[in-house]
Structure 1
């Protein structure tokens, strides 16, 4: 599959649609997926991958969506066999599969996970960090997979610890994945991306870590329309762009809605 077309204006990485963009993702692939909970997640690409049918996937993401939304859909369809994440979060099915021995889960400190992805995209093989020293993160024994009876089937190995500037630090390997799926607010046809507010979270390091990075864009603009100082992710990291429809661009569910009663008109007048 072509990852981009050329016309008189230069390179154009926009592909016909999400189904086209994910069509060649193979079973057993590793995926870095942007977003945090339901913020900034690539809704449309996840849905297209669900329809495409690839399974035995390794997913690297801050978490695994929620029940019935985001990556939770792939999880419920049993398309994911391994997750590298920061926390189980609000996804009950994620927790159930992990504790039942149906899913391998490598829990990683959140900042460490972001840096492992960023380092992979920067060509750095590993790095030392003080986070996790003196815990099971460095000493090993974190349960990655359980037997159905609740005993540990697979646990993490001890990691190298060295001292730098008087501080003990643990060695963490970087992450490079086969594919990255991310969502951006604005993207030009060369792949230069702008993310809105907290949607910058894991989208940038996830995009950097993918050998093939696919971006779903709420708005696609011509090359040169984004000021270079406003670019959050350079187009060199992006191979395919999916332009969302207005309906797809507005798909942004709230993970946990909290409201308070509105005051009555009389109460407003007396306030």
Structure 2
């Protein structure tokens, strides 16, 4: 039952070229950066990634993207990753854009043994009708488009409405980041890091978790467990430096109360003498 690995490199050593990966995180929050860098160092390529977004320029999945290691992405938005947008629009990368809630549910469904489900999200748009550009050509022409999806009308929720069928996602591997974990794989996520990490972990046939703190089985109260160890096959404990590698995506500040008055009071004054 001890699922710990000595290093991130050992934990990802058997991920082959062409593997599909579900990766947790949202922007820079809850990103399994150490496992991603272990894949980068190993040289693994042609990866098919499922993630809410693809990191930012030069960090997170953006590090694999920068080196051309990712060939396809299922994501909910391109976000602020300029390299992601450039590669997609330039025909270097196939991208399947999916509504954010639908993406989370497709991952959760995959981990729950539900092959598909109906949702109202995307009805009446290219999501349901087909025609979303998945891959562009070098001249900007669309080479691959999304196919149309099955729709049905249901009245079971108190009103008659059309729904679109979405298929579940199951990947070869999943990479996630948690604040605490025990040797059996039970995980606790810190605040907003509990975003796409649980459903991504559920979707992987083999799920690898990097944790800031590793504890013994029984030290985590069962009521505090966010993801049961049945979904996790490998655990890697981060060292202090790796655990502290938490960049801020957008730094915003505001003046402290009274700061402007204090600055004016301490500023030098000038006098004119006649």
Q: Structure 1-normalised TM-score?
A: 0.94
Q: Deviations over 1:210-268 (max 9, x none)?
A: 00000000000000000111100000000000000011111111111112344157369
Q: Tell me which residue corresponds to 2:192.
A: 198
Q: Distance in 2 between matches of 1:136 and 1:117?
A: 21
Q: Distance in 2 between matches of 1:89 and 1:43?
A: 18
Aligned residues: 259
Q: Distance in 2 between matches of 1:266 and 1:69?
A: 39
- 2:140 is aligned with 1:171: no
Question: Residue 55 of structure 1: which of 20, 45, 56 is its match?
Answer: 45
SS for the counterpart of 1:153 is strand
What pairs with 1:51-130 in structure 2 (closer than 5 Å)?
51-130=41-120
Q: Distance in 2 between matches of 1:137 and 1:264?
A: 51
Q: Distance in 1 between matches of 2:148 and 2:98?
A: 14
In structure 2, do the counterparts of structure 1 residues 214 and 267 end up closer, same or farther at CA, with 3 Å as the change threshold?
same
SS for the counterpart of 1:58 is strand
Q: Tell me which residue corresponds to 1:243.
A: 237
Q: Distance in 2 between matches of 1:118 and 1:212?
A: 15
Query: Is there any run of 5+ residues in structure 1 with no aligned partner, and where?
Result: 1-10
What pairs with 1:120-199 in structure 2 (closer than 5 Å)?
120-165=110-155, 166-199=160-193
Q: Deviations over 1:155-209 (max 9, x none)?
A: 0000000011111000000000000000000001100000011100000000000
In structure 2, do the counterparts of structure 1 residues 224 and 169 end up closer, same or farther at CA, with 3 Å as the change threshold?
same
1:147 CA displacement: 0.5
Q: Tell me which residue corresponds to 1:210.
A: 204
- 2:212 is aligned with 1:222: no
SS for the counterpart of 2:164 is strand
Q: Structure 2-normalised TM-score?
A: 0.93
Q: Segments of 4+ in structure 1 off by > 3 A? A: none
Q: Distance in 2 between matches of 1:251 and 1:268?
A: 37
CA-based RMSD of the aligned residues comes to 1.3
